[in-house]
Amino acid sequence: MTYQSMHQFHYMTLSGLKTNKGWVSPAELPANLQQIGTLVAPVDVDGNLFDEYIVTFIKENNVGNSSEDKSLFTLQPSGYLKGNIGSAFLKFGPLVRHGKPVIYQYVGNFMHPDFFWMLVELEPVSEEQMDDLYDREKIIIAGCDPLSAYTS
Amino acid sequence: MPTFFHGTGLNDAQVIVQGQIDVTLSGGEFGQGFYMQYSKRHALTWAYRRGNNINGAPCVVQIVINDLEYGLLINPLYIDDVAGPALTTFLESTNQKYTFIHGNRYNSIEGPIMGNTARTQQKLEGQQSQDLLNGPNTTRTVAP
């Protein structure tokens, strides 16, 4: 199995009205729209996480100088996705808001195999751990690069 | 002192650092204004995933505002995880994401990012906010 055929984390933002509300990539929003994004992941028809995901992360050396790499995250019996990035073991789970996971379809114009599935918003078990990883190692978890991973 | 971060491209960051922020040029979940957040990491992630829609290499501008001036000039309206998404839906349905300003009593809206109260954003609007952002009581630097 290759990276390309595995499910991935994506960085998306919400767009649209109630009737067609869904995820779009910040890369397809107008340049003057400052709407922050979040990590999302595809889920099966029952809304459950898949067993494995590829997670893209960026290590920033300084402005204009960064590198991307990938790591495998696997579903644990606890229901969280766990993986190793840099010196940290990180866990993500579905974000639950008002008693329900935040799940929408992708409604933008890009194409990716994951966009056939619904996408659930993720949250790290510890935001502080993510901050520490950035502070110490300049690593951010950014999901797929829209320019290389998506087609239009 | 209040410290915020704004993810953008390096060319636009240099304009910001020079004190040329125009709060009328951009829109977002809470309408027209200049958007910032407390997390440098989240601001940087946003910049990296904007694709070709940023002007220059992805980076973050750190904006530090003098306590006293901030307290005197900025009057935030705080909205929660119900009011935030409701405002966004209203602005989308009325096509006001680039034009809505609260005006009157408030010159800032602080609320959740996409309804997630674990992450908040702040939108500054109006001439008074713009003058403060660009003025000598605010430090603007491209964060290393």
Nearest-Cα distance to chain B for A65, in Å, is 9
B37: closest CA of chain A, how far (Å): 9
Cα–Cα distances (Å) from B104 to A139, B80, B110, B142, in that order, read: 42, 20, 16, 32
* A56 within a domain of the structure (yes/no): yes
Please indicate, yes or no, whether the overall pTM of this predicted structure exceeds 0.90: yes
Residue B120, phi then psi, degrees to nearest 5: -115, 155
Any residues with CB less than 8 A from the CB of B49 and at least 6 apart, and which?
A: A11, A25, A26, A27, A37, A142, A143, A145, A146
Which residue of chain A has the CA closest to B89?
A17
Domain assignment of residue A35, yes or no:
yes
Inside any domain, residue A54: yes
Indicate the number of domains in chain A. Answer: 1
In angstroms, the CA A102 to CA A121 distance is 5
Comparing CB atoms, the residue among A17, A27, A63 nearest residue B49 is: A27
**Closest in A36, A123, A145 to B121, CB measured:** A36
Task: Express each pLDDT in A58-114 by its tens digit.
Answer: 999 888 789 999 999 999 999 999 999 999 999 999 999 889 999 999 999 999 999
**Residue range(s) defining the domain that contains residue B73:** 3-142
Looking at residue B59, its pLDDT comes to: 95
Sign of CA dihedral A27, A140, A22, B4: negative
CA angle B15, A15, B106 (to 5 degrees): 60
State the best of B12, B17, B44, B49 to mutate against chain A, taking most chain A CBs within 10 Å. B49
Tokens 């309408």 identify what position? B31
On chain A, the residues whose CB falls within 8 A of the CB of B59 are: 63-64
Write down the pLDDT at residue B103: 77
CA-angle at A32, arms to B88 and B77, nearest 5°: 40
Domain count of the fold of chain B: 1
Contact B49 A66 (CB under 8 A): no
Compute the distance between CA of residue B21 and CA of residue B42 in angstroms, rounded to an integer.
21
Distance in Å, alpha carbon of A152 to nearest chain B alpha carbon: 13
* pLDDT at residue A140 greater than cutoff 90: yes
In a domain, A18, yes or no: yes
Spatial distance between the Cα atoms of A109 and A67, rounded to a whole number of angstroms: 27
What is the span of the domain harbouring residue A18?
7-149
B56-86 burial, b at 16+ Cβ within 10 Å, e below that, comes to ebbbbbbbebbeebbeebbeebebebeebbe
